[in-house]
A and B are shown apart, each in its own frame.
Chain A
Amino acid sequence: MKKFAVIMSLLLALCICSVSFAQEPETLTLLLRAGTYGEVIKALIPEFEAAHNCKIEFSEETFDDLHTKISMDAINAEGTYDVIVVDGSWKAEFIDNDILADLTELGYAYDEDIIPATLPAGIGPDGHAYLIPFFGNVTVFMYNQDLIDKYNNGVVPTNWADVLTLAQTMKADGVDGFLLRAGAGDNNVSDFLPVLKSFGAWVMNDDYSEITINTPEAKAALQMYVDLYKAGNMLDKDNIVAAINSGSAAMGVGWPGWGAEHYTTIPTMSAEGADPQNSSIYGCWFIGMANNSTHKELALEFLKEVTSAEFQQSTVEIGGVPCRESCLLNEDSLKINPNLEVVYNSLAVGTYRPFVTFWSEYYTILGPYIEAAVMGQQTVDEALDAAQAELAGLL
């Protein structure tokens, strides 16, 4: 009788366990970029969990840590993360190393509402979709309206020569005319690229076979950057936004997700009359699926919903910058954030950072040289010639 009771108890326990296991909801794990970029994705979680009877866990990382975590997890047969947020500049490296799931193979297709110019960073060499743009980050020109009114009759300069002249006038008056972002590497390289492009220079040639960072045009661009520093200051991102919004500084290169009050399209010309260039640099954030995800079906559903026009529209209220035409030019969106029109215009004619597997090494090497020139530790010629020599080793 005792034996029978023990066996029955064990069987009962086994049944309860199996029932509870059977009802365990599927868990989707997201790896997000910290800040507004992550907030706009997190907004979907409660609704998605309820609709799909699943559980969502997430981790938010800084730019560098996000890249490292994605890479570290990619070597596992079964990944920790299902849905990953990816910077457009990592595409080549990640696709080359099979980190991203082929979304086309899983049945996904881009729709026509997504701004076409943002798509190349999501498409692989095979023409398939690997990443979907969800945050229209692109370099913009931040300014303080009161200072522009006071020193330039409300006219925002449209070329770098005019920006410099205005910044120098302000500096003479004790106001920081132009702010550079501190932090050698991705920070200062990303913010220097619009100036570089405006001068008709670029980091590499068109087929990525040659480093072109010490051309006369590139040197002229860096000289402009050095002069802009002399007419201003170098601060971290939070202080740049605070300084420009509060009026202790006037202008700077920024990104829509930073929360600046006023910004416009980045200057496209080195000086009045020069050839305009596509100097808005894309920094769009993409969302994709880890190739080693164990919940591909559910992850794909999440990707579709988080990038849908309806959801993207709803993120505008919490600081989202959609990559969809219908959302950016929507009257409701523009009422909430009038700057979205600027973003739309910038996204339409931007330039991508090179799609090369060694881009993170490229900016890690170039960053300190830009800083050295700006701080006067090296001349522009010395800095860019040395950078050229070191960067050539990456090819």
Chain B
Amino acid sequence: MNQGLSKPKRKFDEDKAFPHIMLAPTIVVMLIMTVYPIAFTIYYSFTDYNLLKAVKKGYNFIAFDNFTKLFQNAVFRTAIFNTIKFTIFAVLAETIIGLLIAVFVNSLPKGQKVMRTLLLLPYLLPTVTVALAWRMLLSSNYGPINQWLVDMGFKDMANYNWFYHIGTAFWTVWLIDVWQNVPFVFLLLYASLQGVPTQQYEAAHLDGANMFQRFWYVTLPNIRSSIFLCLLLRTIDTFRLFDKVNILTQGGPVNTTTTITQYLYAFGIKTLNFGFGSAGALVMTILVLLLSIPYIRTAIGSK
């Protein structure tokens, strides 16, 4: 009798344990790769940890001093403003241009594959290559763009330095970023457009809808969730903008292109003040989350 009772109980336990066992490797990897670094960052953000000094002299718990220093620092405030401004303008431009190109390519009766391949090229290039290529194109000495402008009659542009003039540095970096990332949005939306049922277009056509109405009432609702996904992914990625700024302007001139990551690199990584850098990284993570919440909510809501 007892034997008969214990058997189903063991089976029940095994069933319960099985999913946990299956999930265990993933949880372990997550703990090591995600939870530990986050916990480490949070912990050190409350200390004056300096990589070199800590070996000999250790480090101290300084509560919120790093955060106070951060927000009292005018350069950090400028970096936050620049990052948000850059993210908003870049993500909007990339999404609008990417969407327009995707709709255009999707409407082509022929040559979609060729267009798709050609349009993707900028996104396939490494960021460093893109930055260096644009630096050469816009060089004040041997750059073809300045030369072309001079030939067009803009004589003052001969020695114009796009990356070190307050009025143009930010927008030049922005333009390069948009140029490189439009293909990503294009690809995602193009794939989404392929899934829009043609019957809906045919029905709209029969109802007398014009091109704009077909786009507004058929295309957009069908690819809405993909657009929000693009906005979310591009926001997160653009918020971390570093390589282009570091190579092209190093945050200058006069901090007009300083982003949060560039600031953290200059004042946290280069100076090895990892405690201070961790505090900045935390602030940045919170900002990205805050910016992403509306997208995530809308995307989830649309599903």
Chain A proximity of B163: nearest CB distance (Å) = 7
Quick check: is A18 within 8 A (CB to CB) of the other chain?
Answer: no
Quick check: is A74 within 8 A (CB to CB) of the other chain?
Answer: yes
Contact residues on A (Cβ < 8 Å of other chain), bracket: 35 or more
Known: A182-B164, A243-B159, A371-B254. A361 touches B52 (CB 8 A): no
* A234 partner, pick from B141, B161, B266, B269, beta carbons under 8 A: B161
- Asked if B271 and A74 make an inter-chain contact with CB atoms under 8 angstroms apart, the answer reads no
Quick check: is B53 within 8 A (CB to CB) of the other chain?
Answer: yes
Tell me the chain B residues, 153-179 only, with Cβ under 8 Å from chain A: 158-159, 161, 163-164, 166
Known: A67-B270, A239-B139. A368 touches B252 (CB 8 A): yes
Q: How far is the CA of A171 from the CA of B267 in the complex (A)?
A: 37
Q: Map CB proximity to B onto A193-207 as digits: 1 under 8 Å, 0 otherwise.
A: 000000000000000
Quick check: is B292 within 8 A (CB to CB) of the other chain?
Answer: no
Known: A71-B272, A361-B271. A97 touches B53 (CB 8 A): yes
Which chain A residue shows the least CB distance to B139? A239
* A74 partner, pick from B52, B159, B252, B255, beta carbons under 8 A: B52
* B161 partner, pick from A184, A187, A233, beta carbons under 8 A: A233
Quick check: is B55 within 8 A (CB to CB) of the other chain?
Answer: yes
- Asked if B250 and A184 make an inter-chain contact with CB atoms under 8 angstroms apart, the answer reads yes
Quick check: is A43 within 8 A (CB to CB) of the other chain?
Answer: no
Quick check: is B253 within 8 A (CB to CB) of the other chain?
Answer: yes
- Asked if A71 and B51 make an inter-chain contact with CB atoms under 8 angstroms apart, the answer reads yes
Quick check: is B38 within 8 A (CB to CB) of the other chain?
Answer: no
Q: How far is the CA of A126 from the CA of B234 in the complex (A)?
A: 54
Q: Pick from A97, A99, A364 the residue with the most CB of B within 10 Å.
A: A97
Chain A proximity of B269: nearest CB distance (Å) = 6
Q: How far is the CA of A183 from the CA of B161 in the complex (A)?
A: 13
- Asked if B272 and A68 make an inter-chain contact with CB atoms under 8 angstroms apart, the answer reads yes
- Asked if B55 and A75 make an inter-chain contact with CB atoms under 8 angstroms apart, the answer reads yes
Which chain B residue shows the least CB distance to A74? B52
Quick check: is A330 within 8 A (CB to CB) of the other chain?
Answer: no
Residues from chain A with a CB closer than 8 A to the CB of B159 are: 176, 233, 243, 248-249
Quick check: is B282 within 8 A (CB to CB) of the other chain?
Answer: no
Which chain B residue shows the least CB distance to A390? B73
- Asked if B254 and A377 make an inter-chain contact with CB atoms under 8 angstroms apart, the answer reads yes
- Asked if B166 and A235 make an inter-chain contact with CB atoms under 8 angstroms apart, the answer reads no
* B251 partner, pick from A71, A98, A184, beta carbons under 8 A: A184
- Asked if A243 and B140 make an inter-chain contact with CB atoms under 8 angstroms apart, the answer reads yes
Q: Map CB proximity to A onto B40-69 as digits: 1 under 8 Å, 0 otherwise.
A: 000000000001110110000000000000
Q: How far is the CA of A269 from the CA of B144 in the complex (A)?
A: 40
Residues from chain B with a CB closer than 8 A to the CB of A242 are: 141-142
Quick check: is A64 within 8 A (CB to CB) of the other chain?
Answer: yes
Quick check: is B75 within 8 A (CB to CB) of the other chain?
Answer: yes
Which chain A residue shows the least CB distance to B267? A364
Q: How far is the CA of A301 from the CA of B165 in the complex (A)?
A: 49
Contact residues on B (Cβ < 8 Å of other chain), bracket: 20 to 34
Known: A68-B269, A364-B270, A368-B252. A75 touches B51 (CB 8 A): yes
Residues from chain A with a CB closer than 8 A to the CB of B166 are: 375, 377
Which chain B residue shows the least CB distance to A239? B141
Quick check: is A372 within 8 A (CB to CB) of the other chain?
Answer: yes
Tell me the chain B residues, 199-256 only, with Cβ under 8 Å from chain A: 250-255
Tell me the chain A residues, 56-115 only, with Cβ under 8 Å from chain B: 64, 67-68, 71-72, 74-75, 93, 97-99
- Asked if B252 and A235 make an inter-chain contact with CB atoms under 8 angstroms apart, the answer reads no
Known: A185-B266, A239-B141, A377-B166. A368 touches B51 (CB 8 A): no
Q: Map CB proximity to B onto A228-251 as digits: 1 under 8 Å, 0 otherwise.
A: 000001111001001100101100
Q: How far is the CA of A98 from the CA of B57 in the complex (A)?
A: 12
Q: How far is the CA of A364 from the CA of B76 in the complex (A)?
A: 13
Residues from chain B with a CB closer than 8 A to the CB of A371 are: 252-254
Known: A67-B270, A239-B139. A93 touches B164 (CB 8 A): no
Quick check: is A337 within 8 A (CB to CB) of the other chain?
Answer: no
Which chain B residue shows the least CB distance to A246? B141
- Asked if B253 and A375 make an inter-chain contact with CB atoms under 8 angstroms apart, the answer reads yes
Tell me the chain A residues, 357-395 only, with Cβ under 8 Å from chain B: 360-361, 364, 368, 371-372, 375, 377
Residues from chain B with a CB closer than 8 A to the CB of A236 are: 135, 163-164
A-B contact pairs, 15 of them (CB 8 A): A75-B51, A97-B53, A182-B161, A184-B252, A184-B253, A184-B255, A234-B161, A234-B164, A239-B161, A242-B141, A242-B142, A243-B140, A248-B158, A368-B254, A372-B254
Q: Which 10 A-B pairs have the closest CB atoms?
A: A97-B52, A242-B141, A182-B164, A372-B254, A184-B252, A377-B254, A234-B164, A183-B250, A361-B271, A239-B141
Q: Taking A68-B269, A182-B164 as given, write out 17 further A-B residue pairs in contact, using a Cβ cutoff of 8 Å, ordered by the A residue number.
A: A68-B272, A71-B52, A75-B51, A75-B55, A182-B161, A184-B250, A184-B252, A185-B250, A234-B164, A235-B140, A235-B161, A248-B159, A249-B159, A360-B270, A368-B252, A371-B253, A375-B166
